[in-house]
Amino acid sequence: MIGQYTRRKVTNYLMLTLCGLATLAAIAILLLVVGYTAVNGLPYLNLEFITQTARPLGEPGGGMRNEIIGTLILVGLASAIGLPVGLLAGSFLAEYGDGRVGTAVRLVADVLTGVPSVVIGIFVYIIMVRSMGTFSALSGGVALAIIMLPIVARTTEEMMRLIPATYREAALALGISRWRTIISVVIPGAMTGIVTGSMLAVARITGETAPLIFTALGNRFGFSGLLNPIAAMPLQIWRYATSAYDTWHQQAWAASFLLVIFVLFINISVRWLTARRYGYTR
């Protein structure tokens, strides 16, 4: 009996320690990724990196101005399409989403979240790139918009459902129409939530690479219109990383560091915002 009791105690400590170690490992991986990116990228991240375009191979220096601008344009395009549509879809789900149509839309949104981004890229390639005959910034924006759509829609829905029904009823009782109620009462009330959801969606698509291979393609020269191929940071990181040249690797690290800083900054500020607004502590 003593032996058995000892074995139980040992198992207990062993398993609990393993759980702690697993957590340590998970956190260590994040720190390693961010740490290596910082150490390898920081030395090359300077004014030149942001303001200069790429130099020919062999020449030192140069930067990613085109890629940074390209990513900004792509994300801007995607937001211009994805945010309003996502907001509308989310409002629809929150207000009218209990019927059969709502359930179907919600299901589609959920399934869309699970669709690999590479498949979305191919899809946009077929409907836009092939029919228009050229890779383009626009198609890249559309692909990214499709990725952000379900994220924005579902956060909007959840946040709008948090608005107490009494607010809504008060406005409706005053004879205000349903859509005006939504616009003037529900959406402002859910604003913080919607903004944070949108920020998360933007952070998510900024680093997306796979769909851009089939749509934005990349462009060694500067921006030349929405209907032409456009450069993007994540694409360039991939190309540089899989190249054989040290100078390109350095540029890839620097760009990665920029991306990581941006994405982590958004995520952490979202945490901070939600924690303040909703007293969310977990």
* Three-state SS at 231: coil
User: Which of 88/111 has CB closer to another protein?
Assistant: 111
Residues 144, 211: contact at Cβ < 8 Å?
Answer: yes
Instruction: Quote the CA–CA distance of 115 and 163 in Å, as a whole number.
Output: 31
User: Which of 230/266 has CB closer to another protein?
Assistant: 266
Q: How far is the CB of 228 from another protein (least distance, A)?
A: 16
* Three-state SS at 217: strand
Under the rule (CB under 8 A), what is the footprint of another protein? 4-5, 8-9, 11-12, 15-16, 18-23, 25-27, 29-34, 36-37, 40, 108, 111-112, 114-119, 122-123, 126-127, 130, 203-204, 206-210, 213-214, 217, 234, 237-238, 241-242, 249, 252-253, 256, 259-260, 263-264, 266-268, 271, 281-282
User: Which of 163/233 has CB closer to another protein?
Assistant: 233
Residues 77, 148: contact at Cβ < 8 Å?
Answer: no
Residues 215, 137: contact at Cβ < 8 Å?
Answer: no
Instruction: Quote the CA–CA distance of 139 and 137 in Å, as a whole number.
Output: 6
User: Which of 92/123 has CB closer to another protein?
Assistant: 123
Q: How far is the CB of 164 from another protein (least distance, A)?
A: 24
User: Which of 15/170 has CB closer to another protein?
Assistant: 15
Instruction: Quote the CA–CA distance of 175 and 173 in Å, as a whole number.
Output: 5
Q: How far is the CB of 265 from another protein (least distance, A)?
A: 10
Instruction: Quote the CA–CA distance of 142 and 75 in Å, as a whole number.
Output: 10
Question: Six-digit token pair at 55?
Answer: 């130099």
Q: How far is the CB of 267 from another protein (least distance, A)?
A: 5
Residues 139, 129: contact at Cβ < 8 Å?
Answer: yes
Q: How far is the CB of 3 from another protein (least distance, A)?
A: 11
